[in-house]
């Protein structure tokens, strides 16, 4: 992953300088930091930057896992050492004099805003920090793992890349000759935002700026910076642009920034993003625009009961329902059903995942989200079960799962549904055959056997 990022960046952007390469390793999109909102793993390879000897740069590859350190930021800037794991929310900067990366705790803007933020957080139901926290031990382990896989990747690609690209030292020399300043993610985002915001930019340039921004805002800390720079509000405003391409890419950036990022979720809903996304979904728009709007909507709603409640109040469920009456929107069906499934499960699983005070508060928030009654009232039971007639197995898999959870509320509706019972019979014979074949090929717990199991469970429940 790391190496292909290097390669990709090297080939596409001369403007992206060495530091960005390092940072892209650090904040690689597929790294742990995407999945774990509360911590970013930072890996610094200063040795790569500093080594002037022209020899093979010393890397951290062979570090013993026990040597890896979790960095505990204070309110002062402290220099990061190679291999330091930095808790998310820390401010990280590049000291341009020394070339070293430094980190510290973020300043609270002022005393008041902290408590206001606290209160708002309570009201809006911010996803809890603790359930996602990592112990330093876990951080170390994760970091060691990252290093291991990076090492393997690096070995595999080293030769290939070496053939294609000049060695880092040589590049660095050339950059130095050109006296190009190394840019941080922060600086790059500032530039991209002003490109997007400038009236002098062409449509293509704006779209390109959004396209690049989408890459950066995946990283939790970058998304927070994006917010404080005013970029979030700009992309929210971009959602009602008259240009389809801008709407599409603004929704894409928004969805990426929202993913697992409670702070952004709160700001986005206050900035009016929910209404704008629903307008896109409810009106006549190109499929590509709706697809990205649905993506952003999903990121907005997941694990954010306040947004779910607003969504229901604004008639969001009817808007999604209306997609099923529009032509050419078939590719959105399964995404909508998946979103519904996730939201229903999220509420159901809540009680297993939290403890004590937290749990009381969360349950209270989710209690306000009356999703299931609305689902039943709008007859989603049948909208969902009709999708079993779709030909793709993975679509059916998701629909079967959703029908499974809806069973508790839709049973009566399903019992009287002749079309459903014949579809289920057809699916059963199809999957009996495929499961048998799978077994003959030696796959005992195969995919089709599982699908057959889901079909049979539903048939039994309808007896």
Ligand X SMILES: *[C@@H]1O[C@H](CO)[C@@H](O)[C@H](O)[C@H]1NC(C)=O
DSSP secondary structure letter of residue 229: T
Least CB distance to ligand X at residue 190 (A): 8
Least CB distance to ligand X at residue 230 (A): 3
Least CB distance to ligand X at residue 199 (A): 7
Residue whose CB is less far from ligand X, 237 or 430: 237
Residue whose CB is less far from ligand X, 144 or 279: 279
Half-sphere exposure of residue 52: CA atoms within 13 angstroms, side-chain side: 2
Size of the site for ligand X (CB under 6 A): 8
Query: Within 221-250, which residues bind ligand X (CB under 6 A)?
Result: 230, 234, 237, 240-241
Residue whose CB is less far from ligand X, 136 or 194: 194
Half-sphere exposure of residue 423: CA atoms within 13 angstroms, side-chain side: 20
Residue found by looking up tokens 């603004």 in the block: 250
Instruction: Give the span between the Cα atoms of 191 and 238, in whole angstroms.
Output: 17
Least CB distance to ligand X at residue 40 (A): 24
Residue whose CB is less far from ligand X, 109 or 158: 109
Contacts of 317 (CB under 8 A, 6+ apart): 311, 371, 374, 375, 378, 380
Query: Within 87-116, which residues bind ligand X (CB under 6 A)?
Result: none
Q: What beta strand segments (E) does 48-140 contain?
A: 78-79, 91-95, 100-104
Residue whose CB is less far from ligand X, 227 or 384: 227
Least CB distance to ligand X at residue 247 (A): 10
Binding mask 128-147 for ligand X (x = CB under 6 A): --------------------
Residue found by looking up tokens 């742990």 in the block: 32
b/e per residue 337-371 (b: at least 16 CB within 10 A): bbbbbebbebbeebeeebeeeeeeebeebbeebeb
Residue whose CB is less far from ligand X, 73 or 316: 316
Query: Within 38-67, which residues bind ligand X (CB under 6 A)?
Result: none
Query: Within 371-410, which residues bind ligand X (CB under 6 A)?
Result: none
Least CB distance to ligand X at residue 298 (A): 22
Contacts of 195 (CB under 8 A, 6+ apart): 201, 205, 206, 208, 209
Residue whose CB is less far from ligand X, 106 or 230: 230
Which residues make beta-bridge pairs with 39? Answer: 87
Least CB distance to ligand X at residue 249 (A): 14
Least CB distance to ligand X at residue 246 (A): 9
Q: What beta strand segments (E) does 41-82 contain?
A: 78-79
Residue nearest to ligand X (CB): 230
Least CB distance to ligand X at residue 455 (A): 47
Instruction: Give the span between the Cα atoms of 150 and 432, in whole angstroms.
Output: 43
Q: For the chain, count helices (H), then strands (E).
A: 24, 3
Report the candidate in 379, 453, 366 with the shortest Cα–Cα distance to residue 409. Answer: 379
Query: Within 277-336, which residues bind ligand X (CB under 6 A)?
Result: none
Binding mask 162-201 for ligand X (x = CB under 6 A): -------------------------------xx--x----
Residue whose CB is less far from ligand X, 142 or 234: 234
| Residues of the shown chain interacting with ligand X in the complex, contacts defined by CB under 6 A | 193-194, 197, 230, 234, 237, 240-241
């Amino acid at each position: 992953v790391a190496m292909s990022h290097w390669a990709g960046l090297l080939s596409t952007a001369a403007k992206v300088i060495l530091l960005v390469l390092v940072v892209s390793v650090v904040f690689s999109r597929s790294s742990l930091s995407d999945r774990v909102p509360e911590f970013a793993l930072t890996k610094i390879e200063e040795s790569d930057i500093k080594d002037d000897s022209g020899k093979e740069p010393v890397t951290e590859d062979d570090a013993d896992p026990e040597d890896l350190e979790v960095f505990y930021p204070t309110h002062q800037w402290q220099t990061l050492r190679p291999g330091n794991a930095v808790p998310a929310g820390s401010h990280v900067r590049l000291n341009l004099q020394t070339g070293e990366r430094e980190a510290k705790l973020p300043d609270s803007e002022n005393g008041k805003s902290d408590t206001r933020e606290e209160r708002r957080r309570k009201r809006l139901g911010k996803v809890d920090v603790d359930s996602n926290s990592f112990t330093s031990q876990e951080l170390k382990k994760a970091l060691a793992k990252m290093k291991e896989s990076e090492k393997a990747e690096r070995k595999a690609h080293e030769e290939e890349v070496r053939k294609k690209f000049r060695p880092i030292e040589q590049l660095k020399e050339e950059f130095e000759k050109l006296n190009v300043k190394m840019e941080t993610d922060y600086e790059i985002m500032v530039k991209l935002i002003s490109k997007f915001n400038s009236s002098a930019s062409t449509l293509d340039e704006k779209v390109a700026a959004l396209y690049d921004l989408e890459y950066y805002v995946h990283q939790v800390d970058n998304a927070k910076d994006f917010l404080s720079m005013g970029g979030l509000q700009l992309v929210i405003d971009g959602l009602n642009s008259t240009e389809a391409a801008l709407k599409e890419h603004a929704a894409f950036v928004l969805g990426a920034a929202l993913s697992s990022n409670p702070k952004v979720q709160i700001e986005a809903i206050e900035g009016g993003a929910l209404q704008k996304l629903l307008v896109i979904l409810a009106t006549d728009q190109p499929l590509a625009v709706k697809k990205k709007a649905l993506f952003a909507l999903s990121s907005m709603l997941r694990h954010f009961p306040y947004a779910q409640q607003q969504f229901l109040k604004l008639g969001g469920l009817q808007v999604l329902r209306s997609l099923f009456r529009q032509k050419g929107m078939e590719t959105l069906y399964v995404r909508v059903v998946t979103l519904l499934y996730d939201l229903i499960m999220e509420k159901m699983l809540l009680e297993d995942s939290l403890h004590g005070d937290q749990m009381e508060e969360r349950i209270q928030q989710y209690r306000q989200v009356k999703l299931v009654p609305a689902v039943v009232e709008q007859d989603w039971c049948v909208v969902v079960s009709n999708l079993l007639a779709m030909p793709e197995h993975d679509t059916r898999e998701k629909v079967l799962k959703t029908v499974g959870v809806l069973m508790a509320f839709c049973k009566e509706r399903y019992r009287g549904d002749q079309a459903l019972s014949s579809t289920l019979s057809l699916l059963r014979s199809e999957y009996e055959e495929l499961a048998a074949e799978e077994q003959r090929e030696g796959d005992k717990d195969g995919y089709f056997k599982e699908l057959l199991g889901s079909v049979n469970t539903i048939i039994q429940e309808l007896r």
